[in-house]
Amino acid sequence: PIRPAYSPVAMNAAQELLAPALSQGLGDCPAFLGAGGPLSYRELEALAGQNANALQGAGVDPGHRVLLLLRDTSALAGAYLGILAAGAVAVTVNLRCSAAEIAHVLRDSGCVLALLDPASVPLWREATGGSAPCAARTVGGPVAGLPAWEDAVAAAAPRFDAVLLPEE
């Protein structure tokens, strides 16, 4: 579980989003309903922790940017909260963006990792011109030439001490 020590001058957004429901005993209540099935607050916390640990294992440090080009699924919710827990920055991109728009976001954001819906891989390849500026993994199914993010998440522990960041 994501359990940071309390600090009056630092916080973590993932913990702030999950802690109220968990502290009120709502851990088994639905936190996410959608494609990929429902997730309870406890399951979402564990999935976020696994994603945060997988991100650290992939070399993502606090402050790094991670691009999300994903459908609205429980995997997206877990990845997003995992990015926040790790102290990184989620760069969400609409699946309806053009290759030129994605290329601009990549240049502007300095992402170190991209998590891609398998259906978006052709668009990703067009946006990067075959020379991706960062590592890329697929979420939701295999694609030739790209590792599956689910493998890293499944191998990661669910407990993660969230990175506390200064309140601004």
pLDDT digits (tens, 9 = 90+) for 30-77: 999 987 779 999 999 999 999 999 999 999 999 999 999 999 999 999
pTM summary value: 0.92
Structure tokens at 137: 């993994």
The Cα–Cα gap between 140 and 75 comes to 8
pLDDT tens-place string over residues 119-162: 999 999 999 998 889 999 999 999 999 999 999 999 999 999 99
pLDDT of residue 168: 62
Lowest average pLDDT, out of 14-28, 32-46, 61-75, 96-110, goes to 32-46
Pick the residue with more confidence: 36 or 107?
107
Burial class of residue 48 in the structure, from the number of CB atoms within 10 Å of its CB (0-12 exposed, 13-18 middle, 19+ buried): buried
Q: What is the predicted pLDDT for the residue at 35?
A: 74
Compute CA 61 distance to the chain's CA centroid, rounded to the nearest angstrom: 13
Phi (first) and psi of residue 55, to 5 degrees: -65, -45
Residue 3 has pLDDT above 90, yes or no: no
pLDDT confidence of residue 1 = 62
